[in-house]
Structure 1
Amino acid sequence: MKRMLLGVAAALLAYANDLERARELYSRTEYRQSLKLLDQSSQRAEPAALALAGRCWYQLGDFKRAVDALEKAVAAAPRDSNYHLWLGRAHGRRAETSNPLSAPGHAVKARNAFEKAVELDPANLEAMTDLFSYYLEAPGFLGGGLEKAEALAVKIRARDEAEYHADLDRLAERRKQPDIAERQLRAAVELAPRSAGRLIDLARHLARQGRHRESDQTFAKARKAEPSSKLVLYAQAETFIEGRRNLAEARALLEQYLQGPLTPDDPPREEALKLLEKAR
């Protein structure tokens, strides 16, 4: 009996070590290495391993395999809000990349998954913001709508006041109300002055309005707020390229972005390389 218990403990430890190592590889954007480790694990069919595999496939752009893995994770652990969230994201990307016949089906599945994620955990802010994005962007016949987005924004306010104002900015942009959008962005920045993301949103808005000097100054504030954030480099380079200005500086920013490690929250290296080509 003692040997058996020791054997079980050793197996559990090996699984935990495999999963932690796979998560570490994922955090370093080494997605294929993470998948290889998971595939070799004796517990590869466990919900946590399936969910991590799905996220790896998602990051690699193989959304079909991502959906397959995440559906298995949700079936094995149907009460996990984050599994439904990532399943929604995978179906969303399948909707964006599929043919016109199958895209609506994936869009509806994405909405259902986001709604389930919020139902299971009303405090899951990522799920709420992804569902808000769906309502904002999707047409009514797929379950979207500005009224639904606005109602959800009110619920988001109870969790994150700055996110609420950022969401109102996006609603105002859709309604072609740039003055209201800017007021909401500035309110978000005032509530989270050390957030590079909020400053980036404002800088991009100012650039779209042709207020390039103010935009550049706001990007500088974002870099000062979060000196280690690589997203600021990417966002400013992208903004320069979209406006066809300061292309030499855009190239320098992207080259700096591509140096050193990235995280899963950063735009993929492949996207930065594509952007770099546009700046040539």
Structure 2
Amino acid sequence: MEKLILFFLLVPMCIWSQSNFEKAEKFYHAKKYDEAKVLFESNLKSKPSDLKTIEYLGEIEAHHKSWVKAAEYFKKLKELKPTEADYFYKYGGALAMRAMEINKLKAFGLIDDMKASFEKAIVLNPKHIPARWALIELYLQLPGILGGSESKAISYSNELAALSTVDGYMSKGRIDEYFKRYAAAEKNYIKANEIGKSKITFQKLYNLYLNKLKDPKKAQELKRKFEA
């Protein structure tokens, strides 16, 4: 009898928890992040190790650019499930965004953790494209004395090319653009756009024409073709 009573007490709680989570998801997908956050936090109290709830909360903090809190949620995720590549990638990404907001001295203290997180994501998922992009950007932005390296950026660009032809050309274009080799960047972005034909490949080439090569005629011609 006691077990039966306990069953009837627990069932409504489980239904409420599920309903609570589903409502939070709907708010999240509707970009009503504050409403979603309240419900997800409530759900987390009853299910403190629920991966999806923690991930949503991390994403909400990221949307609000609260990078410290986002990193805390993503760190918890990778500790709860250390076999999931995306959790390491998201943790490294939150640290990278945090590093952009603070002074350089403090930012340098995050570098090793960032790098290790992106590298771990690739170990767990050898086809992880975003982690390679993150490492390319990291090696471009870092001063040489702290490990910045064009050759390492190129190495990850070559790995991208083996996984995705478009990402290979895009990353080579990014490296060339960073070092102000605009003619070479143009060639790579053109190849990427010819293959990808996407808004992203178009935008990269368009911005290069408009902002770096200062060639509005080429930019407008590219835009005309893309819109057609």
Contact 1:88/1:114 (8 A) holds in 2: yes
Q: 1:61 is matched with which residue?
A: 65
How do 1:72-87 residues align onto structure 2 when only pairs under 5 Å count? Answer: 72-87=76-91
In structure 1, C-alpha distance between the alignment counterparts of 2:39 and 2:201, rounded to whole Å: 37
User: Residue type matched to 2:36 in 1?
Assistant: S
1:37 corresponds to: 39
The aligned runs of 1:46-195 (5 Å cut-off) are 46-193=50-197, 195=198
The residue number in structure 2 matching 1:25 is 27
**Alignment-mate amino acid for residue 50 of structure 2:** E
State the identity as a percent.
21
In the alignment, the residues of structure 2 paired with residue 49 and residue 85 of structure 1 have an alpha-carbon distance, to the nearest angstrom, of 18
Alpha-carbon distance between aligned partners in 1 of 2:10 and 2:151, rounded to the nearest angstrom = 53
- Cα distance in 1 for partners of 2:122, 2:187 equals 28
Matched, 1:198 2:192: no
User: CA–CA distance in 1 between the matches of 2:158 and 2:7?
Assistant: 52
User: What is the number of equivalent residue pairs in this alignment?
Assistant: 223
Distance 1:203 1:144, change over 3 A: same
Secondary structure at the counterpart of residue 105 of structure 2: coil
Task: Tell me how large the CA RMSD over aligned residues is.
Answer: 2.4
1:21 & 1:161 partners in 2: Cα distance? 40
Contact 2:49 2:80 in 1 (8 A): no
TM-score, structure 2 normalization = 0.86
Q: CA deviation at 1:134?
A: 1.6
Judge conservation of contact 1:134–1:144 (CA < 8 Å) in 2. yes
Closer/same/farther in 2, CA of residues 54 and 203 from structure 1, 3 Å limit = same
C-alpha displacement at 1:219, in angstroms?
3.2
The whole-number CA distance in structure 2 between the counterparts of 1:110 and 1:38 is: 27
Give the aligned partner of residue 239 of structure 1: none
Gaps of 5+ in 1: 225-280
Supply the AA of the counterpart residue of 1:151.
Answer: S
Instruction: Considering Cα pairs closer than 8 Å and 6+ residues apart, tell me whether 1 or 2 has the greater RCO.
Output: 1
Unaligned runs of 5+ in 2: none
Aligned residue type for 1:181: A
TM-score (ref. length: structure 1)? 0.71
Q: Once the 2 structures are TM-superposed, how far is the Cα of residue 167 of structure 1 from its aligned partner?
A: 0.5
Preserved CA contact (<8 Å) 1:197 1:222: no
Which one-letter code corresponds to 1:48 in the other structure? K
**SS of alignment partner, residue 102 of structure 1:** helix
Structure 2: distance between partners of 1:86 and 1:146: 24
Letter in 2 for 1:216: Q
Kept in 2: contact 1:188–1:198 (CA 8 A)? yes
CA distance in 2, matches of 1:30, 1:127: 28
Query: Is contact 2:21-2:40 (8 Å) kept?
Result: yes
Aligned-partner Cα distance in 2 for 1:66–1:77: 17
Are the structure 2 counterparts of residues 175 and 83 from structure 1 closer, same or farther at C-alpha, using a change threshold of 3 Å?
A: same
CA contact (8 A) 1:185 1:202 kept: yes
> Does the residue aligned with 2:152 lie in a helix, a strand or coil?
helix
Mapped to 2, the partners of 1:5 and 1:218 lie a distance apart of: 66
CA distance in 1, matches of 2:118, 2:61: 19
Q: Deviations over 1:188-239 (max 9, x none)?
A: 011112x111001010011021111221332344455xxxxxxxxxxxxxxx
The structure with the largest helix share of the pair is 2
Distance between the aligned counterparts of 1:128 and 1:13, measured in 2? 41
Tell me what 1:207 maps to: 210
